[in-house]
Amino acid sequence: MEAMSVSDLLPNLLIAAMAISSTVQAAEISVAVAANFTAPMKQIASEFEKETGHKVVASFGSTGKFYAQIKNGAPFEVLLAADEETPARLVSENAAVAGTQFTYAVGKLVLWSAKPTVVDAAAEVLKKGDFEHIALADPKLAPYGAAAIQAMKALGVFDALAPKVVTAENITQAYQFISSGNALFGFIAQSQVLKDGKIEGSSWLVPAKLYQPIRQDAVILEKGRGKAAAEALMQFLKGDKAKAIITSFGYEQS
């Protein structure tokens, strides 16, 4: 049997070296994600992992709580917030990397009930007031909750409905209150109930003029500074694959 020369072995050695390099470079990244973005982020993470080899460890919750956790030293490397103010504040406080903040999605607020015919096309149900509870996320912690308050005030119904408001810890819990029937309806993110372009139950897409735009910004946190996986995720979020997923859940692009 003829011995293989160095030139014969070279291609195999290069393949082996590339495999080892890929394994070494692949990293785990800890990401704090606004609760309204749970479903799209799970799809994005799957595609990102296939493409890069990096693994996403995502935590979902309210932006306000994530801010407090980050300031208290939580090991998050990237934040996908439900607003633009929190990432900017973290940058100003040297808790996030300047120049990395960008808008990855613009959210839409919807008034939703799990039951058909409850929410009408003009949201007259809000003016009737013949219901016990209306759910929304804590406006102090969740931008969608703050948007719900703005919308009700703009419609002139907030004072009458305030005693009926059930405040959830985050947008996911608000959805649970409504889907379980503990609240007849409430304000949540459209992305939570939009499936294949349709919404089950009954809903009213709140006109954008009734609340401040929900610009959802991402930023690399101080613990992610200089880390290739964090930078790769930010680039992936700006790419066509991620944008297609984000749009499919009813978000707009900035």
pLDDT given at position 21 = 43
Do residues 200 and 139 both lie within one domain? yes
In the numeric block, which tokens belong to residue 246?
Answer: 């984000």
Confidence band of 195 (pLDDT split at 50, 70, 90): confident
Sheet with 134-137, strands from edge to edge, namely 165-168, 134-137, 185-189, 109-113, 202-205
Residue 169 lies in a domain: yes
- Say if residue 85 is in the same domain as residue 122: no
Query: Can you list the pairs that 158-167 forms with residues at least 24 positions away whose Cβ atoms lie under 8 Å?
Result: 160/129, 161/126, 161/129, 161/134, 164/129, 164/131, 164/132, 164/133, 164/134, 165/133, 165/134, 165/135, 165/136, 166/133, 166/134, 166/135, 166/136, 167/135, 167/136, 167/137, 167/138, 167/139
pLDDT one-digit tens code per residue, 1-36: 455 555 555 555 555 444 444 444 789 999 999 999
| Domains identified in the chain, total number | 2
125 and 201 fall within a common domain: yes
Q: Mean pLDDT of all residues in the chain?
A: 91
Is the residue at 28 inside a domain? Answer: yes
Helices 240-248 and 38-52 sit at what angle, rounded to 10 degrees? 160
Q: Do residues 141 and 201 both lie within one domain? A: yes
Mean pLDDT of 91-108: 98
Which structural domain range is residue 69 located in? 23-106+214-248
Looking at the predicted structure, is the pLDDT value of residue 102 above 50? Answer: yes
Strands 214-220 and 102-107: antiparallel
d(CA 178, CA 173): 9
Q: Are residues 55 and 100 in the same domain?
A: yes
Q: What is the CATH number of the domain that holds 167?
A: 3.40.190.10
| pTM, to two decimals | 0.84
Percentage of the chain surpassing pLDDT 90? Answer: 85
Together in a domain, 116 and 80 = no
Extended beta strands in 62-200, E state:
78-80, 102-107, 109-113, 134-137, 165-168, 185-189, 194-195, 198-199
* Minimum mean pLDDT range among 18-22, 101-105, 136-140, 173-177: 18-22
Q: Specify the pLDDT at position 180.
A: 95
For 19-51, letters b (16+ CB in 10 Å) and e give eeeeeeeeeebbbbbbbbbbbbbebbbeebeee
What pLDDT does 20 receive?
A: 42
Residue the block writes with tokens 């394994």: 23
Return d(Cα 176, Cα 185) in angstroms, integer: 11
Q: pLDDT by residue (tens digit) across 41-56?
A: 999 999 999 999 999 9
Is 15 a domain residue?
no
121 and 198 within one domain:
yes
Amino acid at 200: E
Is 144 among the domain residues?
A: yes
Q: CA 220 to CA 244: how far, in whole Å?
A: 22
Residues paired with residue 105 on neighbouring β-strands, in sequence order:
216
Q: Quick one: pLDDT at residue 11?
A: 55
Pair of tokens at residue 190: 């459209």
**Does residue 100 share a domain with residue 63?**
yes
Q: Is residue 4 one of the residues assigned to a domain?
A: no
Q: Are residues 28 and 58 in the same domain?
A: yes
117 and 196 housed in the same domain: yes
* Same domain membership, residue 124 and residue 87: no
* Residue 126: pLDDT over 90: yes
Residues 116 and 194 in one domain: yes
Would you say residue 159 lies in a domain? yes
With respect to residue 139, please indicate whether it lies within any of the assigned structural domains: yes
Is residue 9 a part of any domain in this protein?
Answer: no
pLDDT at res. 253: 83
| pLDDT single digits (tens) 156-177 | 999 999 999 999 999 999 999 9
Can you give the pLDDT at residue 130?
87
